[in-house]
Amino acid sequence: MRKKASLSAPIASALFMGLGQIVVLKQYVKGFLFSIFEIFVLSNSSKIFNKIMGLITLGEPKPDLPVAERDNSTFMMLEGLIIVVIAIIIAIIYIYNIVDARNTGKDYEKKGVVQSEREFIHNIGEKAFAYLGLSPSFIMLAFFVVIPLVFSFLIAFTNYSAPEHIPQKNTVDWVGLQTFRDMINLKQYSQGFIRTAVWTFEWAFIGTLTCYFGGMFLALALLDKNIKIPGFFRTIFILPYAVPGMISLFIWAILLNGQFGPITRSLRELGVIEWLQNIGVLQRDVIPWLSDTTLAKIMLIVVNLWLGFPYFMLMITGIMTSMRQDIYEAARIDGASRSQQFRFITFPLLMYQTIPLMIMSFAYNMNNFGGVYFLTNGNPPDSLTTQSFAGTTDTLITWMYKLTLEQRLYNKASVVAIVMFIVIAPFALYNFSKTKSFKDGEL
């Protein structure tokens, strides 16, 4: 019976997990573990089937039952999703069981012996450290990062939104691409969408560049030997990084208050506002720092620079101090001027080392919720805002937040999230290809 083990063992194991290992190969411990696993799966099969059906139907509307007893579509969707993940794991173990039977069978045909039970247990012990150690982080990632991302992705294909389709009062249904179609066809949405996406891009791009070059300028200037008390200035320049960002943003929102803010009041005292009124730039005795779209956008960038330059300043200071000094000496001997040294040595070296950081920072700025929400709240609104809820300074993430928390239009918020995903993914991949371990091919 054991002669054609490489054929009979996998077939037996395909019929029932572990059968090939027990009957053909006499690996009792391993085969027993596989069989128990299959028995466990089979005994729960009706449950698994029900949950997957739940994911497909998302529940039936049962208007005559009390609200608490009706089908809860979002729960069903979530449970279904978890079960699908588990089903994939089961399938992988099932396939592994067959592959293992075939490999051991081949081994047996060649050598005439199979791996002993003791060896098997020893091997498991070796590998267990890695898998056991990783399991907490993988389980947490699965539940709180991966499944939520997939879930948000799926919501875009349902009608999960207020006021008609909020569980548990009503059920949610799959609607295919209807939400996408709605958002394209409703002019308010499609225009609001384009405007928001373009501004998000501008905001992230300009925000990153201003902070980068601002930080670079200060870092280089501070390293100059002729600067008095550089430590004192550096300490001051770090402050915006040290004070929690949300607090700084609120302080700025106060400073930029159009009527009572100290900046407006100072300008009023100096007669600047009166002068601006006289030449017709301002209509009233207030400056619309955050209530005029263009001015608000400029202020967002300025405040973002205030908050963000210290990060790059610290980073570039660190890189500069660890740079080899002998290149500069060689350059000086060759008669290179200071500006030449900067143009041909410092700047290229810095750029080379910091481009991944800039990309990271760009992605961070695209997702920077507080930088917009706490300062302008996405305001001022315009004609597109009434239906799409996107203010003129809203970025994708603040818009998504508003659609989710304030309007409960989860399906539309989800479409926005998918777009964010598509926009961010190339940057993630680019950064990945730049990492050391990827280049070395070792990981």
- 414-433 residues in contact with another protein (CB under 8 A) are 414, 417, 420-421, 424-425, 427-429, 431-432
From 84, 90, 238, 272, residue interacting with another protein (rule: CB under 8 A): 238
> Can residue 68 be called a binding residue for another protein (CB under 8 A)?
no
> Can residue 134 be called a binding residue for another protein (CB under 8 A)?
yes
The token pair at 153 is: 């992705």
Of 37 and 250, the one with the shorter C-beta distance to another protein is 250
Residues 140-159 that bind another protein (CB under 8 A): 140-141, 143-149, 151-152, 155
> Can residue 283 be called a binding residue for another protein (CB under 8 A)?
no
27 with 76: CB under 8 angstroms? Answer: no
> HSE of 45 in the Cβ direction (CA atoms, 13 Å)?
6
> Can residue 42 be called a binding residue for another protein (CB under 8 A)?
no
> Can residue 233 be called a binding residue for another protein (CB under 8 A)?
yes
Rounded distance between C-alpha atoms, residue 170 and residue 60, angstroms: 9
Query: Considering all CA atoms of the chain, what is the largest pairwise distance in Å, rounded to the nearest integer?
Result: 104
Q: How far is the CB of 334 from another protein (least distance, A)?
A: 21
Instruction: Tell me which DSSP letter residue 69 carries.
Output: G
The token pair at 301 is: 């960038």
Of 118 and 127, the one with the shorter C-beta distance to another protein is 127
From 46, 137, 185, 339, residue interacting with another protein (rule: CB under 8 A): 137
> Can residue 271 be called a binding residue for another protein (CB under 8 A)?
no
From 43, 322, 325, 339, residue interacting with another protein (rule: CB under 8 A): 322
Torsion angle (degrees, nearest 10) of CA 74, 79, 83, 86: 110
Q: Which amino acid is at 362?
A: F
Rounded to whole angstroms, what are the CA distances from 375 to 264, 287, 364, 416? 16, 16, 17, 22
**What SS3 class is residue 161?**
strand
> Can residue 111 be called a binding residue for another protein (CB under 8 A)?
no
Of 8 and 152, the one with the shorter C-beta distance to another protein is 152
The candidate with the shortest Cα–Cα distance to 37, out of 88, 93, 82, 100, is 93
From 42, 56, 236, 298, residue interacting with another protein (rule: CB under 8 A): 236
Rounded distance between C-alpha atoms, residue 81 and residue 108, angstroms: 41
Angle made by CA atoms 286, 288, 294, in degrees to the nearest 5: 155
From 315, 375, 384, 390, residue interacting with another protein (rule: CB under 8 A): 315
> Can residue 363 be called a binding residue for another protein (CB under 8 A)?
yes
Residues 244-263 that bind another protein (CB under 8 A): 244-248, 250-255, 257, 260-262
From 85, 191, 370, 407, residue interacting with another protein (rule: CB under 8 A): 370
> Can residue 357 be called a binding residue for another protein (CB under 8 A)?
yes
Residues 201-220 that bind another protein (CB under 8 A): 218
> Can residue 369 be called a binding residue for another protein (CB under 8 A)?
yes
Of 106 and 214, the one with the shorter C-beta distance to another protein is 214
Rounded distance between C-alpha atoms, residue 280 and residue 268, angstroms: 15
From 242, 279, 333, 422, residue interacting with another protein (rule: CB under 8 A): 242
Rounded to whole angstroms, what are the CA distances from 429 to 206, 224, 359, 423, 433? 22, 37, 11, 11, 6
> Can residue 318 be called a binding residue for another protein (CB under 8 A)?
yes
The residue with tokens 């597109």 is 384
From 74, 171, 208, 304, residue interacting with another protein (rule: CB under 8 A): 74
CA 397 to chain CA centroid, nearest Å: 11
Q: How far is the CB of 158 from another protein (least distance, A)?
A: 11
**What SS3 class is residue 172?**
coil
The neighbour count for residue 406, using CB atoms within 10 Å, is 9
Of 180 and 241, the one with the shorter C-beta distance to another protein is 241
> Can residue 379 be called a binding residue for another protein (CB under 8 A)?
no
The neighbour count for residue 171, using CB atoms within 10 Å, is 23
Of 194 and 251, the one with the shorter C-beta distance to another protein is 251
